Structure 1
Amino acid sequence: MDTEKGISPRVNSARLANFVGQEVRLPCKTLRIDGSRVTVEASDGGQVNVQALPNTDISETYIEVLGRVKDASTVQMLACINLGPNLDMKLVNDTIELIHDPRFYSKMFS
């Protein structure tokens, strides 16, 4: 995947390891906020540590983190989008898996 083209694909926790050093979008549920460390639950149920920006406004249960993947379980936040109090995470995860299906991925991201 070429993030130099300005593409940041949506991922779940299982796909983070494939994008180390690259920018991604992580739709997730906020579990804990401890200073600049936010623990979230990705759409596939896996927990991810997010290194938040100072004074980040996380005011909803569900957010989307735009960030750079540091390792298989950590994302350095670049931006945060509040998505509201309700989100069908199964549908989000099904969509992410469909996006990354080899039959469609290259057609969307090349």
Structure 2
Amino acid sequence: MSSEHVSTRVNSARLPDFIGQTVRLACKPLQKSADIITVQASDGGEVTVQLIRDAEITDPYIEVVGKVVDATTIKMMSLINLGSDLDLKLVNDTVELIHDPRFYTRMFT
């Protein structure tokens, strides 16, 4: 699989490392306006998500798949509703393990 089809899971602290790349962000929606939503990432940081048309957020937890615009913004490509029972601390621990140099190069490069 080429790297252009990989969407690495991230938290807010990891976004600056992936500008211009596609990522997955498990998060909790906080505030929505017409075409922008502010979410709380698994590490507690806030991220701005530029919504796609017809994005249907139905659950308290979601996963945003999108391209990182800058250190705090993602342009959504798709959305996955994750239900109401998600442990964001566990998600964050997993994200940090994924990015641990001992594992990252073996799994994602």
Q: Which TM-score applies when normalising by structure 2? A: 0.96
**How big is the shift at 1:46?**
0.1
Identity of aligned residues (%): 57
1:52 lines up with 2:54 in the alignment? no
Question: Which letter does structure 2 place at the counterpart of 1:31?
Answer: L
**How big is the shift at 1:67?**
0.2
Q: What SS does the corresponding residue of 1:84 show, helix, strand or coil?
A: coil
Other-structure match for 1:96: 95
Other-structure match for 1:25: 24
Distance in 1 (alpha carbons) for counterparts of 2:9 and 2:30 = 19
What stretches of structure 1 of length at least 5 have no aligned partner?
A: none
Distance in 1 (alpha carbons) for counterparts of 2:61 and 2:24 = 13
Distance in 2 (alpha carbons) for counterparts of 1:34 and 1:85 = 22
Distance in 2 (alpha carbons) for counterparts of 1:3 and 1:35 = 32
**How big is the shift at 1:49?**
0.2
**Do 1:3 and 1:22's aligned partners in 2 also have CA atoms closer than 8 Å?**
no
- How many residue pairs match? The answer is 108
Moved over 2 A (4+): none
Question: Which letter does structure 1 place at the counterpart of 2:101?
Answer: P
Question: Which letter does structure 2 place at the counterpart of 1:90?
Answer: K
Question: Which letter does structure 2 place at the counterpart of 1:38?
Answer: I
Question: Pairwise CA RMSD of aligned residues?
Answer: 0.9
**Do 1:37 and 1:50's aligned partners in 2 also have CA atoms closer than 8 Å?**
yes
Other-structure match for 2:3: 3
**How big is the shift at 1:86?**
1.7
Distance in 2 (alpha carbons) for counterparts of 1:52 and 1:36 = 5
Distance in 1 (alpha carbons) for counterparts of 2:22 and 2:90 = 22
